[in-house]
Structure 1
Amino acid sequence: MTHDRPLIAAIIGTGAIAHAHAQAIVDLAPRVRLAAVVDLDADRAQAFAQQFGADAVYSTAEALFAAERLDLVHVCTPPQTHVPLAIQALRAGVPALVEKPTALSLAEMDELVAVSRETGVPALTVFQHRYGAAAQRLIRLVREGVLGRPLVATCETLWHRTPEYFDLPWRGRWEVEGGGPTMGHGIHQFDLLLAVLGPWSRLTAFAARQVLPTDTEDVSMALVEFDSGALATVVNSIVSPRESSRLRFDFEHATVEVEHVYGYTDADWTFTPAPGHDELAARWTAQPSDEPSGHRGQIAAILDALAAGEEPGVGVDDARRTLELAAATYASAFRGAPVRAGEIAGDDPFLRSMDGGAVPWHPVKTRPEEALA
């Protein structure tokens, strides 16, 4: 695949998040063209297609894949449809870019991993915070080893949602959304945490439903140990009136931190070298950028990879590692015990669902040991 022609894309689902995908496609023209959109709501789909210049509208994914020759399909539907639609795309030979969360369970994620490997077609997850200029710079410096060993990190997603936010029938329900802020909100921040620090080894967590009218948690907290020996705290909340997304990394030779809400630029980052390592500040500021983090950065990187015949990010293995951290957070919180990476396997109920049948505030199963009996 080369740059001789625009890559052809389609979007399935034309709700709120689809606008970010479509705008990125428009911004990246002529490298990519939005050929078609799919939505069960014909009027909404037509209006969306007209707004973003799509040529065709379909009511089903089956009709889309039968009629169009695509290089990439964006899956922007509610979470419970992500894996079925992505598998349909892969079997049609079309790489799929799936909004988070990729899957509702590790078992479902493993099904997607298997189909991607069977077909040789990539299934990708939207984790756009990896692709801001500062995050890419940080990842490069970590890989070069110039910051020294990672020691301590803090990852906070402190957001606020009102009860009305959950009026949509697919929000706040384990079987439809997969979880609360651990799955739907904080996952972007702790995915970037994992992208910087690498594999995690074990964690201990808590989760609670503090005030919101949901089946899922509205707060979770975890203490995470990484293979490198680094320790991190991860907080996910949607009951915090002053909204903030914050990551802080303390390495041997520097502290690197960012605070933003839904997206960052270089201006949101702070780099503090340790005494005796002032030369690192010049490495940090060597290639400044005012480009905000967002869908466009990740989609541009995907287009580069597809055009070069390379594997795009974020692929199924990376996405599974991030999803496993979410599953382990729930398993540890609801069982009251630490969880090691790779431990959720076999017939573990947390492999099949994020709640594991063990939610303490569930009206029927009130204790983890009852759910596991």
Structure 2
Amino acid sequence: MIKNVAVVGCGIGRTHIVSYAAHPDKFRVVAICDLNDERLASIGDEFGIARRTKDFDEVLRMEDVDIVDVCTPPAVHLEQILASLAAGKNVVCEKPLVGSVADVDKVIAAEKQSKGRVLPIFQYRYGNGIMKAKHIIDQGIAGKPYLASVEVFWKRTSKYYDNPWRGRWETELGGVLVTHAIHLHDLLTFVMGPVKSVFARAATRVNDIEVEDCVVGSLELQNGALASTAATLGSQDEISRLRFCFENVTFESCQKPYAPGDDPWKIIPASPEVQAKIDQAFEGWNFVPTRFEGLFAPYHEALVTGGALPITLADARRSLELLTAFYQSIETERPQTLQVGPDHPRYTNWSLANKGADILRYAARA
């Protein structure tokens, strides 16, 4: 059963369109929406999409649209998700899903009242390398988790921020934590389990922006494992790298900055006996495609069967709890737990636009 999609926002939305096109038996992009006339024309012509509009409400009135794919700037996600659910549409939404834990709780409540469901985008989970590692762990072969390290060493120049919404608390909702490292932090929890607490420091050192572009963090996971993370937008050689140390296996990702889940991953067993178990676990293994292409296949299956979505609002909530704890730790200079509820000081807004911004500027001068 082919599902009709309307893509809203033709920046990163173009990548979504390419990935839907990789599944012509599952999806058809029937409409695009963007405020930029030139981009509407360019993307529409490139992919042969005749229905083009600048009016989001018009998309919601399209009776043949099954999925509204939200690829707009973060500050408008909540409004567009809630409106799409109210119209009975399924929703795909780019990260960060919304701007606070309170907002994701609103989305969770709205989804329960709608016939539509929300797929938060964490496409880095898909790739043959990371899925092989996850399979070994899920089979119980890896054993006790010990320690992990996460590196997000990317490059963004002033040209990247020559944009009406990037680099600003009000519109981008944060910096390297929100827009870039969020992917790798999701992979950390995907592989190692939920985070219990975080201690972090941040600075704005690379570009003249409001938000942070350098972060380091020390994390404790709920299962007792430890993790370190470092992220910057000032690296001349772009890499993403994860290393996971378990009792019986050590894993290390490839270093592709925007596809760390792809092969080749190092899978280092503790003994020949462990290697034999790994070999047996991969008998009949089916290759997992990368990023959106890998994600959209199980997404379609979930829509058709009514089964669980491959990524859920619970996953998104955990991600936003981690962001909230990061920013709270950065301001207070203390470890913070991930128990973020209505009584948390940043439940409704994790922004450091006021007092926290002074911390970032001070660190930048040092």
Relative to the length of structure 1, the TM-score reads 0.90
Runs of 4+ in 1 over 6 A off after TM superposition: none
Q: Which among 7, 10, 13 is matched to residue 3 of structure 2?
A: 7
Secondary structure of the 1:260 match is: coil
Cα offsets for 1:24-50 (capped at 9, x unmatched): 111110221111111122332133122
Q: How does 1:29-40 map to 2 (within 5 A)?
A: 29-40=24-35
In structure 2, relative to structure 1, the CA distance for the partners of 1:264 and 1:202 (3 Å cut) is closer
Q: Which among 178, 182, 190 is matched to residue 173 of structure 2?
A: 178
Alpha-carbon contact 1:156-1:234 (below 8 Å) kept: yes
Partner of 1:325: 322
Q: Which among 291, 296, 313 is matched to residue 299 of structure 1?
A: 296
Alpha-carbon contact 2:120-2:312 (below 8 Å) kept: yes
Bigger drift between 263-272 and 282-291 goes to 282-291
1:241 CA drift (Å): 1.3
Secondary structure of the 1:135 match is: helix
Q: Which amino acid aligns with 2:226?
A: L
Q: Which amino acid aligns with 2:326?
A: T
Cα offsets for 1:1-59 (capped at 9, x unmatched): xx3xx1111100112x1111001111110221111111122332133122112241122
Partners of 2:139 and 2:287 lie apart in 1 by 24
Secondary structure of the 1:165 match is: coil
Q: How does 1:150-169 map to 2 (within 5 A)?
A: 150-169=145-164
Q: How does 1:1-373 map to 2 (within 5 A)?
A: 3=1, 6-15=2-11, 17-258=12-253, 259-264=255-260, 266-275=262-271, 276-283=273-280, 286=283, 292-343=289-340, 345-346=342-343, 348-349=345-346, 351-355=348-352, 357-361=354-358
Partners of 2:112 and 2:329 lie apart in 1 by 30
Cα offsets for 1:128-185 (capped at 9, x unmatched): 1112122223223222222101111111111111122111121111111111111000
Q: Which amino acid aligns with 2:155?
A: H
1:286 CA drift (Å): 4.2
Secondary structure of the 2:185 match is: helix
Q: Which amino acid aligns with 1:271?
A: I
Partners of 2:180 and 2:280 lie apart in 1 by 32
Q: Which amino acid aligns with 1:325?
A: L
Alpha-carbon RMSD across the aligned residues, in angstroms, is 2.2
Partners of 2:216 and 2:359 lie apart in 1 by 19
Give unpaired runs (5+ residues) of structure 1.
368-373
Alpha-carbon contact 1:305-1:312 (below 8 Å) kept: yes
Partners of 2:153 and 2:297 lie apart in 1 by 29
Q: Which amino acid aligns with 1:257?
A: E
Partner of 1:370: none
1:362 CA drift (Å): 6.6
Alpha-carbon contact 1:265-1:291 (below 8 Å) kept: no
Number of matched residues? 361
In structure 2, relative to structure 1, the CA distance for the partners of 1:257 and 1:289 (3 Å cut) is farther
Cα offsets for 1:262-281 (capped at 9, x unmatched): 11465331100013523244
Percent identity of paired positions between Structure 1 and Structure 2: 30
Partners of 1:42 and 1:73 lie apart in 2 by 20
Q: Which amino acid aligns with 2:263?
A: A
In structure 2, relative to structure 1, the CA distance for the partners of 1:350 and 1:265 (3 Å cut) is closer
1:290 CA drift (Å): 6.7
1:211 CA drift (Å): 2.9
